[in-house]
């Protein structure tokens, strides 16, 4: 499998090289040069596979030539054998033909465990073979950080630095990052917002001189293809559990950086019958404004009760645009230059946007409506949604095209992670799962730094070359 940059001016890479690269040298994101295609009969033959074996079927074509087939299966068995629910990604029915896909049974109670537990083990596999050490640098608006740390804490060849906006993630999310012990783990609280942290990470990949040429940076944010690849699996798994691929499904995805919903788009390209993908956002609604009005304009970031979606710029949307613009890297580079300038309102070619609207719908949900959906679903079913999932349910109900096919909302996190939203909805906090019962008593370790790239680079260099 070879990978190409969305901006068309970077070398083709293998999966192993993409895993260790992050952004392409031309500023683009790597995508597969060719997408594996499956017939309905082939997908149907996977119906009875347990999650880890299905994951091998979906993932192996993307890593072939870089990761041995048996080694991949061993990694996947280890990853998903550590989830708290034997089904790994169980479905919870909340109404007729309406479901929540529970993606929070991993060690950090969020969907990002699916990808980051796998990514950490793949990194160790590749780095051991190459006799190399790397620096992981990532930004998080909530869940990515803890999942990345949990997934890579045992990696012998990695130092990990996670930036989060100081005081702007929930206490459970922060403690899941800052209480993990390890000499290779560093939490940096940035005196700014998530987009500033993400911009610093992107800038660091463009200029890695602070690492003196002795290490290279590796991305754990969803710009890393290994993240997207792992998330494709649960679309196949949920579909097969509800009668797919013999009938289509619809999915509503709470999204900030567009990675999780892009995985659904990839599943569709691979042959899974998906009738509709709903982009569900909070008041940071840049994608909804683009999809509904064809107006791309970056607004100031708003901090909400759904902090994992408090993102003003959705990095992975570039991967979809690459396909909409017929994989024309030069055309996309010009478009991204205008979009990233953040100066003017940018509109897409109407014909290109029309192609997206065939599959995608979008909806932005207010905080009041988020809380009301949490209350309504609990009153109807006794089931407590986390606020991000509630946004997905509301968006699904507002935009649903066909009531005769299942609508599946991705349940992205456990409600225990979001105390403000749960209490605002009038509920008592659920108990932390057994492996986290002492979380509030654990010692925290973090460093508060200004939102200044030079200061962050100096800190990373000091800790890496101590």
In a domain, 270, yes or no: yes
The model's pLDDT over 121-160, given as tens digits with 9 standing for 90+, comes to 999 999 999 999 999 998 887 677 888 898 888 788 999 9
pLDDT of residue 287: 94
In a domain, 372, yes or no: yes
Q: Which long-range contacts (CB under 8 A, 24 or more apart) does 67-75 make?
A: 67/15, 67/16, 67/122, 67/125, 67/126, 71/125, 75/118, 75/121, 75/122, 75/125
How far is the CA of 163 from the CAs of 168, 191, 260, 303, 313, in angstroms? 12, 10, 21, 17, 17
In a domain, 360, yes or no: yes
In a domain, 140, yes or no: no
198, pLDDT greater than 90: no
The model's pLDDT over 47-78, given as tens digits with 9 standing for 90+, comes to 999 999 999 999 999 999 999 999 999 999 99
In a domain, 285, yes or no: yes
Q: Which two tokens stand for residue 128?
A: 């051991």
Told to judge if 112 belongs to the known catalytic residues of this protein, a careful annotator would answer yes
Q: Which comes out higher in pLDDT, residue 253 or 419?
A: 253
pLDDT of residue 264: 98
pLDDT of residue 21: 85
- What are the start-end ranges of the H helices in 104-243? 112-130, 143-152, 171-178, 194-206, 225-231, 233-241
Q: SS3 of 278, please? A: strand
CATH of the domain at 264: 3.40.50.1100
**Least confident stretch, 285-289, 324-328, 353-357, 431-435:** 431-435
Mean pLDDT of 97-122: 94
> Which of these, 230, 228, 201, 229, lies nearest to 217 by C-alpha position?
201
Q: Are strands 98-102 and 91-95 parallel, antiparallel or unpaired?
A: antiparallel
In a domain, 62, yes or no: no
209, pLDDT greater than 90: yes
The model's pLDDT over 73-99, given as tens digits with 9 standing for 90+, comes to 999 999 999 999 999 999 999 999 999
The model's pLDDT over 428-450, given as tens digits with 9 standing for 90+, comes to 998 888 888 888 999 999 999 99
In a domain, 55, yes or no: no
> Which of these, 176, 179, 128, 184, lies nearest to 460 by C-alpha position?
184
**Least confident stretch, 10-14, 186-190, 290-294, 462-466:** 462-466
Structural domain of residue 241, as residue ranges? 86-109+227-424
Which residue among the candidates 2, 33, 57, 112 is catalytic per the annotation? 112
466, pLDDT greater than 80: no
22, pLDDT greater than 80: no
In a domain, 80, yes or no: no
Using CA atoms, how far apart are residues 266 and 260, in angstroms rounded to an integer?
10
The model's pLDDT over 364-400, given as tens digits with 9 standing for 90+, comes to 999 999 999 999 999 999 999 999 999 999 999 999 9
Structural domain total, the chain: 1
Q: What is the pTM of this model?
A: 0.91
End-to-end Cα distance, the chain: 38
The model's pLDDT over 219-274, given as tens digits with 9 standing for 90+, comes to 887 889 999 999 999 999 999 999 999 999 999 999 988 999 999 999 999 999 99
């Amino acid at each position: 499998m070879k990978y190409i940059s969305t901006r068309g001016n970077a070398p083709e890479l293998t999966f192993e090289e993409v895993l260790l690269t992050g952004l392409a040298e031309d500023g683009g994101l790597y995508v597969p040069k060719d997408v594996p295609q499956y017939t309905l009969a082939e997908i149907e033959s996977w119906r009875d596979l347990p999650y880890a074996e299905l994951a091998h079927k979906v993932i192996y074509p993307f890593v072939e030539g870089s990761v041995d087939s048996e080694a991949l299966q061993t990694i996947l068995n280890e990853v998903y054998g550590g989830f708290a629910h034997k089904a790994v990604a169980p479905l919870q029915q909340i109404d007729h033909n309406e479901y929540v896909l529970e993606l929070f049974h991993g060690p950090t109670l969020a969907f990002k465990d699916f990808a980051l537990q796998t990514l950490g083990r793949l990194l160790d596999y590749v780095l051991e073979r190459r006799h190399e050490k790397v620096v992981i640098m990532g930004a998080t608006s909530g869940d990515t950080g803890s999942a990345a740390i949990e997934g890579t804490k045992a990696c012998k060849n990695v130092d990990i630095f996670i930036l989060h906006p100081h005081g702007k993630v929930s206490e459970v999310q922060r403690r899941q990052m800052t209480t993990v012990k390890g000499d290779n783990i560093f939490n940096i609280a940035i005196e700014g917002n998530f987009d500033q942290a993400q911009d610093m990470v992107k800038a660091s990949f463009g200029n890695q001189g602070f690492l003196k040429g002795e290490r290279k940076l590796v991305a754990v944010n969803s710009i890393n293809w290994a993240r997207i690849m792992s998330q494709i699996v649960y679309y196949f798994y949920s579909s097969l559990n509800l009668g797919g691929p013999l009938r289509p499904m619809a999915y509503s995805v709470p999204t900030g950086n567009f990675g999780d919903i892009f995985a659904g788009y990839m599943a569709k390209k691979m042959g899974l019958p998906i009738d509709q993908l709903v982009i569900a956002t909070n008041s940071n609604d840049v994608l909804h404004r683009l999809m509904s009005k064809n107006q791309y304009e970056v607004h100031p970031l708003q901090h909400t009760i759904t902090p994992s979606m408090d993102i003003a710029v959705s990095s992975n949307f570039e991967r979809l645009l690459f396909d909409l613009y017929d994989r024309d890297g030069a055309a996309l580079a010009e478009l991204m230059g205008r979009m990233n300038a953040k100066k003017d309102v940018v509109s897409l070619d109407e014909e290109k946007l029309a192609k997206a609207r065939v599959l995608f719908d979008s909806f932005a949900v207010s905080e009041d409506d988020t809380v009301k959906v949490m209350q309504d679903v609990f009153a109807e079913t006794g089931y407590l949604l986390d606020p991000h999932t509630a946004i997905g349910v509301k968006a699904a109900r507002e935009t649903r095209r066909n009531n005769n096919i299942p609508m599946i909302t991705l349940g992205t996190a456990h409600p225990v992670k979001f105390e403000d939203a749960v209490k605002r909805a009038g509920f008592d906090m659920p108990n932390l799962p057994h492996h986290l019962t002492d979380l509030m008593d654990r010692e925290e370790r973090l460093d508060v730094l200004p939102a200044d790239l030079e200061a962050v680079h100096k800190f990373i260099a000091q800790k890496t070359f101590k």
